[in-house]
């Protein structure tokens, strides 16, 4: 590839990035196991050896993508969080920040869903990712201390709230949602009601 005749990939995109981009695409659309290295080679326009120059193995590509995803998800949590707001406003910021990240990066979202529920990433690596959620943990603990939120296991709370974001993103990306804005509000308030204390409708 001459520098005088840059091809379609050469404009500021390194081979490493080409490989990651195409891998993400293929993993998300076809599934990880249905994406052989040879296909990544063919699609990303590099040679077999070049992939193995940048990544030790297929597993390492998966892990690189996973870590990148977790980092960006962490950012989505972090950036959308605004101090000096009401708990509700903070909650909404986080919820929307993550949801919008998923809609903005549907490939990364789908890839993460696959990886989370498969055996591609070992528990250890999954644990590492937890640090990105610190913002949520801090937010939720503060709410609990103030008596605004129910007393609940932090991890469980994260899963319950995050699960709702994922569910709506999933349904929306599958085009099963008609009125998106309305359902965003519903899903969000579902979680908000879930975590906040109410006096009346407690049972037992």
Q: Name the site residues for a copy of itself (rule: CB under 8 A).
A: 30-34, 88, 92, 113-114, 116-120, 123, 150-153, 155-156, 159-160, 163-164, 166-168, 170-171, 174, 176-178, 183, 185-187, 189-196, 198, 200-204
- Report the C-alpha gap between 196 and 149 in whole angstroms: 4
Q: Determine, following the binding rule CB under 7 A, whether residue 36 of this chain makes contact with DNA.
A: yes
- Phi, psi (5° rounding) for residue 39? -75, -40
Q: How many residues does the chain have?
A: 204
Q: Determine, following the binding rule CB under 7 A, whether residue 118 of this chain makes contact with DNA.
A: no
Minimum distance, C-beta of residue 7 to DNA, in the bound complex (Å) = 9
Q: Which of 14, 118, 131, 134 binds DNA (CB under 7 A)?
A: 14
Residue 45, Ramachandran bin (φ over 0: left; ψ between -120 and 50: alpha; else beta): left
Question: Residue 175, Cβ neighbours under 10 Å: how many?
Answer: 7
Q: Which of 17, 30, 42, 47 binds DNA (CB under 7 A)?
A: 47
- Report the C-alpha gap between 143 and 123 in whole angstroms: 29
Q: Which of 54, 75, 78, 132 binds DNA (CB under 7 A)?
A: 54
- Report the C-alpha gap between 78 and 113 in whole angstroms: 21
Distances (CA, A) of 130 to 34, 72, 98, 116, 165: 28, 13, 15, 13, 17
Minimum distance, C-beta of residue 54 to DNA, in the bound complex (Å) = 6
Q: Which residues pair with 37 in a beta bridge?
A: none
In the complex with DNA, which residue's Cβ is closer, 4 or 199? 4
In the complex with a copy of itself, which residue's Cβ is closer, 8 or 181? 181
In the complex with DNA, which residue's Cβ is closer, 67 or 103? 67
Q: Which stretch binds DNA (CB under 7 A): 51-59, 73-81, 91-99, 186-194?
A: 51-59
Q: Of 27, 54, 62, whose CA–CA distance to 43 is shortest?
A: 27
In the complex with a copy of itself, which residue's Cβ is closer, 13 or 59? 59
Partner from a copy of itself, DNA, none contacting 200, C-beta within 5 to 8 A by type: a copy of itself
Minimum distance, C-beta of residue 12 to a copy of itself, in the bound complex (Å) = 26
Concatenating the DSSP letter of every residue in 125-144 gives HHHHHGGGGHHHHHHHHHHH
């Amino acid at each position: 590839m001459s520098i005088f005749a840059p091809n379609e990939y050469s404009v500021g995109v390194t081979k490493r990035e080409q490989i990651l981009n195409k891998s993400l695409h293929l993993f998300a659309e076809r599934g990880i196991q249905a994406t052989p290295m040879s296909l990544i080679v063919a699609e990303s326009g590099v040679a077999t050896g070049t992939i193995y120059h940048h990544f030790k193995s297929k597993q390492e590509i998966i892990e690189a993508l996973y870590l990148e995803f977790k980092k960006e998800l962490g950012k989505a949590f972090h950036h959308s969080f605004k101090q000096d707001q009401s708990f509700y406003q903070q909650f909404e910021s986080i919820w929307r920040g993550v949801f919008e990240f998923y809609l903005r990066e549907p490939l990364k979202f789908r890839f993460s869903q696959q990886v989370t529920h498969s055996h591609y990433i070992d528990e250890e690596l999954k644990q590492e990712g937890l640090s990105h959620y610190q913002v949520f943990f801090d937010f939720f603990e503060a709410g609990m201390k103030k008596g605004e939120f129910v007393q609940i296991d932090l991890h469980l709370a994260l899963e319950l709230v995050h699960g709702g974001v994922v569910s709506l993103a999933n349904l929306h990306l599958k085009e099963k949602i008609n009125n998106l804005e309305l359902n965003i509000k519903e899903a969000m308030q579902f979680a908000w009601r879930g975590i906040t204390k109410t006096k009346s409708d407690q049972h037992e």
